Every structure is written in structure tokens, then in C-alpha cells.
Chains A and B, each alone.
Chain A
Amino acid sequence: MSSAAHSSHETSPDLLLELAGITKKFGPLIANDAIDLKVHKGEIVALLGENGAGKTTLMNILFGHYVADEGQVTVANRDGGISALEPGAPQAALDAGIGMVHQHFTLAENLSGLDNIVLGTEPIFRLKRDRTKARAKLDQLMSGSGLNVDLDQPVHKLTVGEKQRVEILKALYRDARLLVLDEPTAVLTPQEADSLFATLRQLAATGLSVIIIAHKLAEVLAVSHRIAVLRGGKKVGEMQTSDADHRSIAEMMVGREVPASRRTERAPGAPVLHLSGVTIDRGDDRRSLHGVSLTAHEGEILGIAGVSGNGQAALAQLIAGLSKPDHGSVEIFGDVITRFDAHTFAQNGIARIPEDRHHDGMVGSMTVAENIAIEDVRSKEYQKFGFLDFAAIRKRAEHAIKDYDVRCPGPDAQARLLSGGNIQKLILARVLEKSPKLILANQPSRGLDVGAQSEVHRRLLEARENGAAVILISEDLDELLTISDQICVIHAGHVSSAIATAAIDRSELGLMMAGQSKIDAQHAATIPTADQGETR
């Protein structure tokens, strides 16, 4: 597809913002290469691109966090004229009516929503605060936009969706004319995302302009008017959303054809891991499991869907052998496990792809080769007379680098210098080379770009073909629906029974993730839990 920039807007009097020839270099890396972008009043523009395409850099320049090496930003003034935006000054961007909602919220959690919104909008050296006007204005904004939040609650008590609403209100309170949202749906359930999009559409209709930074296609197709695609720091395409086509944009983003992950039908084999009625009570739903029962079979990918912080971490720890259940039993190939430690589980053929790959998946200061061998230093393969056999370790690493296409200077490179995608490939190489019986993959593709993501999926499907059981914990519904055979939903430490992927209704899944649709208590019934004690 050619970059079909719509020229109908070129001379439009509605132009709000223009980025012209923005170039930004970080050392040898060109993060932004002569990027042009226009935003009109009341328009929702989606800025699409993979990780490292330069989207966030561009927005940070707009907001004054970075100063561009070349190019300039001009904004239509409120009175109709046009002026250049002072570079490197967040205050100037705020004054021009640009509000940014960062992916990692910039809220002080110890303060109330109201305090966070008002912060910095009043003269700082004053003896008293007056909140009546602020409150009146916010009440009006909330009723006009449907962004309802209890503003007197300390932010740490709000849900993620509510925090995001506070962030948006923060911008609107400052009379923002342009709202920039960086990956706004990454932390939301599908329902929350839909409601966010409805709000944005409504705000755009009243004249607010919006830029959404995203790497998921489906959602920007639903909400935006126009799409601009960045790749490798360059703008590679721009089109009206109505003309856009899913597949061609994906290729535009990645720069090559993306192999679609396909699951071939396959009958599941014997059960590998069976949990029955497992309860781990830590007094906090984020870290507890309540009467969880599930079974992972050979040659099957079992997806665990859920919004993060609903007990996934507790489940992952349990399956890795890092914690011991208070009640219930864990069976591996039919044997009841009595020793709960990582070594026992690893001996039984359980391998893990940890959630935080930088922190738990590798040792940054050690070399690539050492990181590949690190879980098996006790095995004879890497030893000679009781000492480590570095020649063998290097040889193994060289194979892994080649087979798994780990882009790095060599086996002796420090692991922390690798990119996220390459670290994940390193971990895949370490895990899969052992031909594990069960792979625990916790958020294996989070934060990876489309190319690396499809590589992770291909490898997991390949392991499944070879008869391994895979437990895939993920927040990404697309990922779960594409590669899992069955899906369970985890919410507040409860896990639903498995549903065949083909039989799943997407919106029902979203409701279950949000805890609005009752997770069936069939498993929980086998063992009395605190919740049930109350209902009896």
C-alpha cells in the first residue's frame, strides 16, 4: 500500500498541531527520522508501530521531555494564530493545551485524585488551598464526559481503569485541546477498553483532538479516524481508517510478511500436571489461590486468562515449585508431590518462562553462554572433573544462538545488553532445548514486537506438537485465542474450569476476567474455602 496521506485536510483551517521534519538521534540510533504529522480539531489519530519504532520518542518530544535535533512543532493558538512550541518545556506543552496520559501513570499514589489533578495548577506559594472552584469544574467535566471517579479516594485505592480516568481528567482540567494516550489499553479489560473508546469518541465530537499510541491493530481500527504507521523511526504510511486494511497495516508495521500462528487440531494426551482444590491463602487476592483445580495435558496449550494481579503470580509460583499449597494436592504424571522446591519440579520436567524476563529470567551481568547453562550447572554435560566445562557451555550457546536466532555479538556478550526480544529467545533456547514435559509460560510475549511475538508463538506451538504440555498465562486475549486449545479464567484467586477455545465467546471472557460473570464454583466446592464458609 502506498502512503495515501489525505490531502483534503492540507489547507484545513481546523489544523491544531503540526509536527514537521522531526529528527531525534540517541548516539548512532536514529529514533525519529524526519517525521511529519498533522492533527486536526476533533480528530482521533492512531500512531501505530512496533516497539522501538519511535512512537514514544515522538510524543516525548511533543510534550517537552526530549528536545528534537531537527524539525519543529507548531500549534494553533486558542485565538486562531499559529506559533511554534518551545522545545524541551513540559510547561509550554501544558500551556498550549497538550495533555499526555503516559503508559505508566504519573500519579502520586498517596494523594487523592483531586489533589493529583490540581497539583501544579495553582500558584505554589500560597497559604491556603481553595478547592470549591476546582471541584465544580471537575463535576461538570465528569458529567459531560462520563469519566466518573471518586476524586476524594487516595489514588492507591483506585482500580487501574479509574486511575486512567483521573489521568484523562487531569488533562481536561487544564483545558487540553489535544490528548495523547500512550498504549492506553495495555492495562484494561476489554470492557474497560470499550468504555474508554466510547468516551474518546464522545470527547472528539466536542472538538478534542486525540493521538493514541498503540501496537494492537484491532482496537485502533475501532476508534481512530486516521492512522499513521511508524517503522524504524520513519513514517512509512498514513491513511484514513475507513480505507485501512488489517493485514496490510501489519506488514507495514513489521516491514515484512508476518507468519500467522496456526494451531493444528490435535488430540490431547495424558495429563501431565493436575492441581486439585489448591488453596494458598496469603490474605490478599493478588497473592492467593482459592480451591484451584486444573489439568494440563500432553500436546495441549492451556491458556490462563485474567487481568494482572488476580493470582497469576501465585499460580506461577506454585507450578514452578516455589510455594507450597495450604490445602489441596499437586500431581505430576499421577504422582502426588510432597516436596515443594524448584529442583524437584525441574527434575520432573517442568520448565518455566518467567514473567519478568529481565529480573527472573537471566543474570544481566553474566554472559549469554553462562545464562544458557545456568539452570543445568549440576548436570554432567557441563562438568569436567567437578569443574565447569566452559568449552562445552560455549559450544551449546553457539548452537542456541544460531538455532533460535538470538541477535547478539556472541556467547561472551553480557546478557543485559540484549534487547527484550532477544532475551526472550535466549530463555526459549534454554527452556526448550531440554525437551520439557511441561512449559509454564508466564506473559511470554508481553512487551515484544509483532515479529518476536510470532516467534514465541511458533516455538510454543512446536513444543506442543512434540507432546509437551504448555500452561500459558497471559493478559492478551488475541494471543490466548490464537494458540491455546483450552482457556481458564483467573479472577481474585479463583480459576474457572477450562473451556475449549473454539467454544469461547470473547465478550463473555471479558466479563469473566472483570469478575462480573460468576466463575463456576465447581472446583471450589471440593474444598471449603473462606468464601464458601460465609455463604453457608
Chain B
Amino acid sequence: MRPLGWFWTVVLVLPPLLALLVLPSFGQRMVTLVGIYALMGVGYQLVFGQLGALNLAQGALFGLGAYALALLAPAAGLLALPLAAIVAAATAALVCGPLLRLQSHYFALATLALAALVNLVAVHVADLTGGANGLAGFTAALPTGAALLSLVWACLIVAVVLYARLFRGSLGHQARLLREAPLAAATLGIDGGRWRFAAFVAGAALAGLAGGFSATLSGVVSPDVTSFPIMILCLTSVVLGGSRHPMGAVLGAVIAVCLPEMLRDLQGLWLLAYAAATLVVVRWAPEGLAGLIDRWRGATAAATPLPMLPDSLALSGGPRELVLESVSKSFGGVAALSDVSFTVDRGEVVGLIGPNGSGKTTLLNVIGGLESADGGTIRLDGQRIDGLSPHRIARAGIGRTFQTVPLADETRRGDIVRAITSGAPFLLLDEPAAGASDRERRDIARLVDQVSAAGRGVLIVDHDIDLLTRVCDRLVCLDRGRVIAAGRPAEVRADPRVRATFLGLDEAAA
């Protein structure tokens, strides 16, 4: 399948062609404006749509691009356009390092404060920006009319096609994991920080370029281009059009430009209608207009391909053993893990058992880096992995699954298969059989056998002692954070302390 499909390709290419062939210059100007807003919108989709981060600085970056063009065009001519994109991207790169670590509501506030700062500078640093009057008379060397329209739409078409191509396959799946299940993403070795950085900077570059084009089109730049209404326009149009659909930004921009023209006599009412429409879309059609059209056409979005189990699970390289030495971890004053030591070899299946609250999941979290150990070491061969970030540990060779399936519409098997296909030599499975039917249990047991036969190591937590006895080479029993027994399944099951604490037989429980 082509990334965009013929229908949307036509919709994308038609406006500029029609505008060039039949529309008067006023119509051409409007189509150019659509292209400009759409360009900013595509950039915004990267951060807001794909990563779900409410960035409220996109409008300010757009304004930054406009000012950069106005200041640079007299000297640099046409080169000022790419420079506008670079200025916005560089600004974003400079500030976003610390900002991207923030959680959603703080991120929104930080970007809002940033935008307010840019606006203040535009208004009050009059020497540079012309203050409230703005700048004018810089367009001598820049394209106008049909040439500008062609340039804007060429950039937009490239951006949309690239976007559609990029997010169609595994990258789209990665973005979804990051958005909806950041922990699972990290345990697959996806570096969320780098991803967000790339999306934010690329989005900023598009905003800057759009800002540059906008200044070229209007011939003047005033503090208004950095103001909050531009941001609202960008946000609402992307939401209206479809925040992740490749054509969402374009459709949104068409509405944002055409609606006020159509409702021109009604003055401010169009903004009212626009905001109301956004509210309606958020509530009843979160996939946006483009998604609605797709549904109406009967073209459901290509489902992200489920990870398929590869024919051969064999691995050659990678570390040979996972070693835990005296690992301990406490929450507040409670020791969740104390002095836990054992080893998992490649090709071996080790089961972790123990009563609720004995520290099994905490141990998996500590190995996977979701929690940091207070003491002890965890090594893959000679390499220490305790203290590394989750995605680095995943890349070093540890994959895992979760007690609850991280993505809404996914099966538990899908979660396990994803961990297997990540290629990690060691797998941590957290209660894969919880709530599973007998058939699913057999399926899981077969998967685990396959994985260990292919020479991978498995550490599996479950309450189904029969399942574990069947698939495991060794069992480790935890009680209140300590290893109370370890060895072959039969031995561990026969251990009196294990029987007392875990199997509920009370001969030793006095």
C-alpha cells in the first residue's frame, strides 16, 4: 500500500494546481495561506499528535521564524527561508533539553511561559523587532504570488508525504507505545528522550519555515505573529483535521482559512463556531475530520502490523548470563528486596514465586531499570546494568512483559511476542498466565519452551505453580524480599518453608 493512498494524494495536490490554473490572485493568496498553516500544523502533529505532548510554544516558534526572515531577508535573500527554519529549530533544541523531561501539565505550562517570553521580547525589544509597529519592507528579494504558492506547497507536499511514510510502519508503532505506554516503550529499548527531542526540533523547524513563509506573504511582521491566538489556531486546526492523520493538518488549515472568509459578515462569530467545532470533535470524533472521511470512504486506517513471531528465534551474540548479587531495595522503611542473589543462564528458564507483596514484580522492575536498586549489583556477563536507564538496559539485552497489557487493544500474547521480537537474549515475563484460559496457558508454555530452546534466558513470575513447574528449570522463592529457597522445581516445592509461606500448608507456620 502506498503511504498516503490515491484519494488523499489527489486531495493534497489539487489545491495548488487549481489555484495556479484557475484562481484569481486573491484565491491564490488564500491557498498559499492554507499551505503555510498546514506546514505549521504538520510540525505540530509530530509533537502533539504522535507523542501526545501539549506543546503551547508552536505559535511562538512560528513567530520566531517570521521575525528571523524579516531580519535576515535583506542580507540573505531567499536563503532567509531555510534560515528561519533553522533559527526556530535551534531555539527549540536549546530550550527543550530540560523541558522534555517534564510531565504533561508542567510541559504545557513551560511551553506556555516560553511563548509568553517570546511575545514579550517581540513587543518590548523595539531595537531589534520594531516593537509594536513591527517590521516591514524586507521582501524585495523574495518570491511572491504564484512562485511563493508553488514553493509553499512543494514544501508542504514533501512534508506530508514524508510524515505519512515515516509513521506508517514501525515508527508509528513506537510513537504509539511512547504515547500510551511509556514504560513498555522503554523496556523495548525505545529512547523516549531522543524521540521527543527529534520530534520537538523537527516540529519547530516546520513552524519556523511556515513563519518565514507567512512573513514573505504578508510583507510585514508584528508581535501578533507570536501571540497566543496563532497557537490556538494551530492547535484547534490540527485537532479538527485529525491530530495524527497525515492529512489532518491540511484539512484543518483549509477550514481555518476558509471559514472566516465564508463567515466574514459575522465578524468574531467564526472564531466562536470554530472553537465550538473543536469541542465537538474532541468529544465525539477524536480522530478528527480526516479520520471521519476515511471512515466514510470505508478506508480504515491500516492496522499497525502485529509483531509476528519470526521463524527462527536463534541468537548468536549477546551476553551469556544475567547475574544478581545482593540486590536490595526499600520503599520508605519497608525492605521490598534484601540481599537477593541468583543467576539466569542463556537457555534456562527460572521461575520466581512467592506470596503477594514478596517483591517479585519489584525485582523485575529493578532488573529492568524502572526502579533503581539501593544496593547490590546486576550484571550481564561483565557489564553492570544497575543504574542504567530502562531503554539502555533493554538494549543491553533484557526484554520484558507487564502484568497488565500496556496497549488498550492488545492481547497478552502480543505483548509477549513483542518482547521476544525485540531480540533480547533475556526476557522478564511478569505473570503472563494471569487470567489466561487453559489453552492460552498451553500457548504461553509453548512460547517459553521455544524461547529457551533458541538459547535465550527467561525469568518468569507467576502464581500458576503447575505451569512454572512444567516450564522452568529452576525456581526461586521470595518471601518478604528474601530468597528463601532456590533449586529444581520439585526441591523448591518440597521445601518446608516454601510450603508454609507460599503453598499455604501450615506445618512450619507457628
Are A and B physically bound partners? no
Chain A residues in contact with chain B, CB under 8 A?
Answer: none
- Give chain B's interface residues, CB within 8 Å of chain A: none
